[in-house]
Amino acid sequence: MSEVYKPPNCTSCNKTIVPYEKSVKFPCPSCGVAIIWRCEKCKNIGRKYVCPNCGFVGP
């Protein structure tokens, strides 16, 4: 039985983050439940993101 890999999407721009692409992931600073993914571009320009679990807005 094989599992299908589904790459994550950037929480800010919804772009698919492919393996080996520069990106960051971290738990939501507010609730700690949701994992926030950010592509390199969104991280560098400081685009806002919204936590899908608690609605926290971060830079």
Predicted confidence (pLDDT) per residue in 13-51, tens digit: 999 999 899 999 999 999 999 999 999 999 999 999 999
**pLDDT over 70 (residue 12):** yes
Query: What integer pLDDT is reported at residue 46 of this predicted model?
Result: 95
Extract long-range pairs of 33-42: CB within 8 Å, 24+ residues apart: 35/8, 36/11, 37/8, 37/9, 37/10, 37/11, 38/10, 38/11, 38/12, 39/10, 39/12, 39/13, 39/15, 41/13, 42/10, 42/12, 42/13
Query: What integer pLDDT is reported at residue 35 of this predicted model?
Result: 97
Residue 24 contacts by C-beta under 8 Å, 6 or more apart in sequence? 37, 38, 43
Give this prediction's pTM: 0.87
Query: What integer pLDDT is reported at residue 1 of this predicted model?
Result: 65
